Structure 1
Amino acid sequence: MMRQYELVDLVKRYNPRCDEALLDKAYVYGMMKHAPQKRASGDPYFSHPLEVAAILTEMRMDDATIAVALLHDTIEDTDATKEEISRMFGAEIAELVDSLTKLKKLDFVSKKTEQAENFRRLLLAVAADIRVLLVKLADRLHNMRTLHHMREDKRLRIAEETMEIYAPLAGRMGMQNIREELEDLSFRNLQPDAYASIVTRLALLREENKNLIPAIEQALTEKLGSDGIPARVKGREKKPYSIFTKVQRKGLSFEQLSDIFGFRIVVPTLHDCYHALGLVHTTWSMVPGRFKDYISTPKQNDYRSIHTTVVGPGRQRVELQIRTEEMHRFAEYGIAAHALYKDGDKISGGRNIVDLSKESGAYSWLRETIERLNDPSLNPEEFLENTKLELFQDQVFCFTPKGRIIALPRGATPIDFAYAVHTDVGNTCVGAKINGRIRPVMTELANGDEVEIVRSDAQVPPAAWEQIAVTGRARAAIRRATRDAVRKQFGGLGRQILERAFERAGRTFLDADLAAAVHRLGHNSSTEVLTAVGRGEIASEAVLRAVHPELFDARGQPATPRPATGDGWFDAGSTSGVMKFRVPDGGSDDRTSIPIRGLSGDLPVRFAPNGGAVPGDRIVGILTPGEGITIYPIQSPALKAFDEEPSRWLDVRWDIDPTTPARFPARITINSLNEPGSLAQIAQVIAENDGNIDNIKMIPKAADFHEILIDLEVWDLKHLTRIINQLRAKPIIASATRVNG
């Protein structure tokens, strides 16, 4: 186990003026508290906090963070309290230890709702102080290194949690070394056979090419040195999990991989990076399509480097990464590389740490993700799904026509691009030009594409776009815009219902009167009330009673009888709260009303297109955003298509005024003998029974029979049944049935 002075020496290597007293006190306190405890391996428990602290010294963390590492398990596993730690080490360290204690209890392999809530709590803790994440990742890394001492079920749970959450989160923060090690350790436990197979193949390949890496290192060093570039060249082997994912993703064999061996060229200055690139490309042939300049266009997590692949010495394909020392440090430690020390006041015995939220672009993704937590339309499971999607995605870089760079996850479409530019651009997007050519909005974008969004102010993003979009930002914005559009439609419907109801009561509907009564109706705004009326959740009479109580007696009944309307229009304000529909007589009316045929108003209403509905049917309304309400008979097979969308179902019923009769659409199918006069006999039955043929279609089925589809207009279900029964009585008709479309 590491001794006290050894830990202090590790810190002094990068911070000679560290607060030894703070580190010594934290070491002694942690060791005393954990003294009786053992790990599953049999080692003293305090060896774990020590190793976590050692990992953080590699990241050159401040004294407070090292102290927190030594203390991070004391509140959870010993009799230590937050108050005691605050008294001995200060409020800052106590707060960090307490945050880590709470995160210890989070389970990311639980059922989705709990998993999503736990992930939310993790991100909120990290956003409050990024050092929480750095200590948590170091803690997880050491636990993964010693995972083989745990029982199998616990190993698998921890490995799955690490692969799903902590490894990609480390990658998002630019901490590539930690991400790769976490992935490999998880891969070893989750898929031991695949891991062993790749490790065996790598060992054979390493033996076959044991002289290749030193030879290429030497050739590159000498070539760059001869041109005055003092470069540090280091060969590396691709990690087993990285090989596994590439083989799976691209469907390649192990032998087809060209970048199992890669080399990092670290040079002093930015100028040297491009000087080295030019020298490499003029000495060895570049492999087309394998060049990426992440210096001019850094990744979203601030990663910067030049990537290229050349056919190098010995005709071997060689992947090269060219970067400065500063870029290399960030590539290794990501956001932790910004934890530099500034001259100034001391905090918790260490020198001030740079505000990572201001200095690091890697932090911007975290900030945006936290902002999405406040979106009320995004439930926890959707938030987790969208965030995981972005965590695991690599990136592509696209350009606006003005040259602005937009970084997006791989697989992103122009829809994602539009919302990345601005929410208003996404909401008004109707098309896209990619590299000057009009392309579908679901086209997958590639690195370097120039994207121009075609816009229209009349556009509302279709709900289906949510399934096409890749980014959580786009999905949340589409969901919000769709919800707002539906609310607007229901609000328009609600306004028309209330205007009609107030007119029948001899009053004029005024927004100011409604605003004064919203709280009596249990809502916060007039918009909410109008939407609720449009949805049928509030009866128009309830609103009238809240706005004009003088029209009702003590029992809540109308003080004076209402005049009969006899207008043949829909009314959605029954006292039961169930939406009722009054049907039209086919005449005209220039008042603001809601006709069943839906030719005016914000929310059109129409009958099922393949069979209609008639009074006497039990009916249901189906809402289609942007199109209106369709009325179906309850027995219609077409309703199966909406079984998974209960929010679109509206409870409706007939409200027929016998003084204003009207016809309704229905469809029947008839199998009739194919002989002269058969169609005339059918038409005669319908005419004699006061039915009206709206459309007719004949389909030859055999030499002797025709199938005839007839769209009728009838008064009600009894009228339709009488016509069908009389048709069946005709000798020329084999069958006559109603079509429920």
Structure 2
Amino acid sequence: MFLISDLVSLLESYLDQKQVNEIYEAYLFSAEAHDGQHRVSGEPYIYHPIEVARILAEMRIDHTTIIAALLHDVLEDTNHSRKELTEKFGEEITALVDGVSKLTRMQMESPQHAQAENFRKMMLAMTRDIRVILIKLADRLHNMRTLDGMKAYKRRRIAQETLEIHVPIAHRLGMNKVATELKNLGFSNLYPMRARVLDKAVSQARGNRKEVLDTIETTIRQRLLDTNLDAEIAGREKHLYSLYKKMKDQRLPFSKIFDVYAFRIVVSSVEECYQVLGIVHSIYKPVPGKFKDYIAIPKANGYQSLHTVLFGPHGIPVEIQIRTQEMHTISEEGIAAHWEYKESDTSNITNTEKRARQWLQDLLDLQKNTGDSIEFLESVKIDLFPDEVYVFTPKGKIMAFPRGATTLDFAYRIHTEVGNHAIAAVVNHKTVPLSSQLFNGQTVEITTSPDARPNPGWLQFVTTGKARSNIRHYLKNLQQDEAVRLGEKLLLKALSRHNISRKRFKKMEITSLLEKLQLEDTDALYNEIGMGQRMADLVAGNLVQYKTKEPQSDTKHPKQKGRMAALWNPLSRFSPLLKRRGKNHDDQRPLMIRGTEGMVVHFAKCCRPIPGDPIIGHISAGKGLVIHRNDCKNVSNLQSHPEQWVTVEWSKKSERDLPAVIRVDVTNKPGVLATVAATISEMGSNIDNVTLDDQDGRTNAITFIIRVTDRKHLASIIRKIKKLQPVTTIQRING
């Protein structure tokens, strides 16, 4: 058992006596605060803070963080207040303790919300002081070491959370030693049987490969001695969880995964790293495509090393990592490796710290643009993927992205406005779509346009949390604007049935109604109507009883909250959705649909209306206005609520291709699908989807979802296809 005396001895090896005394005072305070509390194992609770402090002390962390580690559960698990802690230990230490503490007193919707909200609190505290996450990782590491006393389901839940959140964060901060132990502990608690079986297999295989390992190590060591290079050589084994993940992801047996011999060579300088690389390549032939230079281009967490794979004796693969001693220290401890180089001396800040600080800034950007804590948690998880690609800006700056990231992710990394207005990318001097995937070594430049805007389809191919959160933020604001415009028009239309004109509505005093509905202003009222959360007819019925305000001067519009002043001419503000029909009676006219709407006006998939079809609109809660064809079977099913239906018409000018479904029955001949598809393309239509149904061996039914501008366009396509020789029948179908 590690005692406070052991901790003091460890601290005295790198801290002065005054700092050690302050740490001991914090221990006494924590021991008294936790007096009478015990862990599940039965031991006094104070042993846990001591162990957390020990983990950090082994990284030679500063004394302020050690004090906070000893106190890290005081706010959460005792009756001591934040004020009391501040008075005794100061604001800096209290802020660290508070950052690690969970939100135990908050009412959460679900355990998932609680986890996500606590995660958000911790991460935002980390952006203010990264030592918060160092304490939390040390806390989680000791908890994982002592899970045995817990019930199996709790061990699995904690292990799952550790593998999904804490391990990636440790990797992101370059703390490989902590991450590796957390991975193995997480694996053994989440899948205990698999871990035991794999551990036994590794032990057996280790004995069988010792002779080969010794031969390879002796050969390399002798060659380095011959060239007067002083180097440390050590065999390196893959850890259990890494082996398991590789077997699972690549669907390979253990024999294929474990049959790789790995060595780490540590030298004094960068020049010697490359010299050693040349030597090992002269001993064993390198495997093509397996060399990676993480010294010239470090990983996103600051990791640096040369990686190569060689054909060893009998063709056995041999992995070699070559690095300096400083690189090795950083690869093990990451951000904690040079904690003494803090804010006071920025000249000595390492790559690991620079990249960590950039990540913290990205976290702040995510926080600003994500809706709730669960969305924030998911966005951060996305950015913690370990596999990375490295690309260049036109000025030669290296940027790292998760594997699978696109040029649009690149655009948002440059700047939010660059992403919002992106229209294409130039990759290695070739123009490509924004959905194009990034690959190592590419030079990327973004083409923008002031008129370009994000659209919901972008969410289908971006991978980084920053891009996803910024797109969602923009679309959320756009949806609200469109909902306000739609709600305004629907309310005016409903009021017209009570002979209340725009002018009269403008003069109504509706503050009491807004208060009754718990709405801030008319914008909020319009938004709820436009999103289908409140029926325009019911609101209009309530407004009938309200009196008009005192007459206002005709020379100047009255000042009103929200968009009230705009009610003088609401249709001019609603131009993306409506087409004005007359000067004085447009409230009685149908809503005009152009097809370009997309945030609060949706087109029903049950009947897939296209311009030219007779249509009707249905107000659906949370969706806004859903457009159906008049002959849609769902229209009759929903007509029991007439207040939810709105008269709509197509604008004369269609500005968007919409999907239509056609079924083509054809004779079963080679190339018939290609023939029909080519005809559709010739007619200026894109194919969204194709399904083929074999009828009787002689005929096939091919169903196409195609894009058309209107009914005339669809009719011309159908006529053209009908003339093809293999086609027997063709028809438009619903859904």
Q: Tell me whether the two structures share a fold, i.e. TM-score over 0.5.
A: yes
Which of these residues, 448, 451, 455, is aligned with residue 444 of structure 2?
A: 451
Which of these residues, 440, 448, 468, is aligned with residue 475 of structure 1?
A: 468
- String of CA shifts for 1:621-679, please: whole Å, max 9, x gaps: 68999x99745449545999x9xxxxxx99443499xxxxxxxxxxxxxxxxxxxxxxx
Distance 1:209 1:298 in 2: 32
Which of these residues, 356, 364, 368, is aligned with residue 370 of structure 1?
A: 364
Q: CA deviation at 1:236?
A: 1.6
Distance 2:207 2:174 in 1: 32
Q: Relative to 1, partners in 2 of residues 1:6 and 1:611: Cα closer, same or farther, differing over 3 Å?
A: same
Distance 2:643 2:466 in 1: 31
Query: Greater Rg, structure 1 or structure 2?
Result: 1
Aligned: 1:407 with 2:387: no
Q: Relative to 1, partners in 2 of residues 1:84 and 1:356: Cα closer, same or farther, differing over 3 Å?
A: farther
Q: For residue 620 of structure 1, what is the amino acid of its counterpart?
A: H
Distance 2:282 2:547 in 1: 83
Distance 1:102 1:605 in 2: 42
Q: Relative to 1, partners in 2 of residues 1:14 and 1:460: Cα closer, same or farther, differing over 3 Å?
A: same
- String of CA shifts for 1:169-206, please: whole Å, max 9, x gaps: 21222211111111111111111122122112211211
Q: CA deviation at 1:57?
A: 1.5
**Which residue of the partner structure matches residue 383 of structure 1?**
376
Does structure 1 retain, via aligned residues, the 8 Å contact 2:628–2:635? no
SS of equivalent to 1:19: helix
- String of CA shifts for 1:350-396, please: whole Å, max 9, x gaps: x99x99999432132233223322226x3333222222222244211
Does structure 2 retain, via aligned residues, the 8 Å contact 1:30–1:46? yes
Q: Relative to 1, partners in 2 of residues 1:529 and 1:151: Cα closer, same or farther, differing over 3 Å?
A: closer
**Which residue of the partner structure matches residue 618 of structure 2?**
620
Aligned: 1:423 with 2:424: no
Q: For residue 463 of structure 1, what is the amino acid of its counterpart?
A: P
Aligned residues: 610
Distance 1:48 1:633 in 2: 69
Q: Relative to 1, partners in 2 of residues 1:187 and 1:636: Cα closer, same or farther, differing over 3 Å?
A: same
Identical-pair percentage: 36
Does structure 1 retain, via aligned residues, the 8 Å contact 2:487–2:527? yes
Does structure 1 retain, via aligned residues, the 8 Å contact 2:259–2:316? no
- String of CA shifts for 1:299-326, please: whole Å, max 9, x gaps: 2222222222222456432222222222
Q: Relative to 1, partners in 2 of residues 1:17 and 1:75: Cα closer, same or farther, differing over 3 Å?
A: same
Aligned: 1:223 with 2:211: no
Q: CA deviation at 1:154?
A: 2.6
Q: CA deviation at 1:293?
A: 1.9
Q: TM-score, normalised by structure 1?
A: 0.68
**Which residue of the partner structure matches residue 58 of structure 2?**
58
Q: For residue 374 of structure 1, what is the amino acid of its counterpart?
A: K
Distance 1:605 1:526 in 2: 24
Distance 2:243 2:298 in 1: 24
Aligned: 1:465 with 2:458: yes
Q: Relative to 1, partners in 2 of residues 1:23 and 1:480: Cα closer, same or farther, differing over 3 Å?
A: closer
Counterparts of 1:299-698 in structure 2 under 5 Å? 299-312=299-312, 315-340=315-340, 359-375=353-369, 378-437=371-430, 439=432, 441-486=434-479, 549-550=549-550, 598=593, 608-609=609-610, 612-613=613-614, 619-620=617-618, 630-633=627-630, 635-637=632-634, 651-654=644-647
Deviates more, 1:171-180 or 1:92-101: 92-101
Distance 1:415 1:435 in 2: 16
Deviates more, 1:182-191 or 1:251-260: 251-260
- String of CA shifts for 1:224-265, please: whole Å, max 9, x gaps: 343343222222210111111112222222222277543222
Counterparts of 1:74-93 in structure 2 under 5 Å? 74-77=74-77, 82=82, 85-93=85-93
**Which residue of the partner structure matches residue 275 of structure 1?**
275
Name structure 1 gaps, 5 residues minimum. Answer: 345-350, 553-569, 574-579, 643-648, 657-737
Q: Relative to 1, partners in 2 of residues 1:93 and 1:639: Cα closer, same or farther, differing over 3 Å?
A: farther
**Which residue of the partner structure matches residue 177 of structure 2?**
177
Q: Relative to 1, partners in 2 of residues 1:114 and 1:5: Cα closer, same or farther, differing over 3 Å?
A: closer
Does structure 1 retain, via aligned residues, the 8 Å contact 2:290–2:309? yes
Does structure 1 retain, via aligned residues, the 8 Å contact 2:168–2:386? no
Q: For residue 361 of structure 1, what is the amino acid of its counterpart?
A: R
Does structure 1 retain, via aligned residues, the 8 Å contact 2:3–2:47? no
Distance 1:356 1:278 in 2: 27
Q: CA deviation at 1:122?
A: 1.8
Q: Supply the RMSD in Å over aligned alpha carbons.
A: 5.2
Distance 1:605 1:236 in 2: 58
Distance 1:582 1:434 in 2: 41
SS of equivalent to 2:281: helix
Counterparts of 1:140-151 in structure 2 under 5 Å? 140-151=140-151
Does structure 2 retain, via aligned residues, the 8 Å contact 1:581–1:652? no
Q: Relative to 1, partners in 2 of residues 1:384 and 1:342: Cα closer, same or farther, differing over 3 Å?
A: closer
Q: Relative to 1, partners in 2 of residues 1:467 and 1:92: Cα closer, same or farther, differing over 3 Å?
A: same
Q: Relative to 1, partners in 2 of residues 1:129 and 1:597: Cα closer, same or farther, differing over 3 Å?
A: closer
**Which residue of the partner structure matches residue 207 of structure 1?**
207
- String of CA shifts for 1:194-223, please: whole Å, max 9, x gaps: 212211221121111124444434433443
Distance 1:39 1:231 in 2: 46
Aligned: 1:124 with 2:124: yes
Q: For residue 609 of structure 1, what is the amino acid of its counterpart?
A: I
SS of equivalent to 2:401: strand
Q: For residue 207 of structure 1, what is the amino acid of its counterpart?
A: G
Distance 2:18 2:2 in 1: 18
Distance 2:177 2:107 in 1: 24
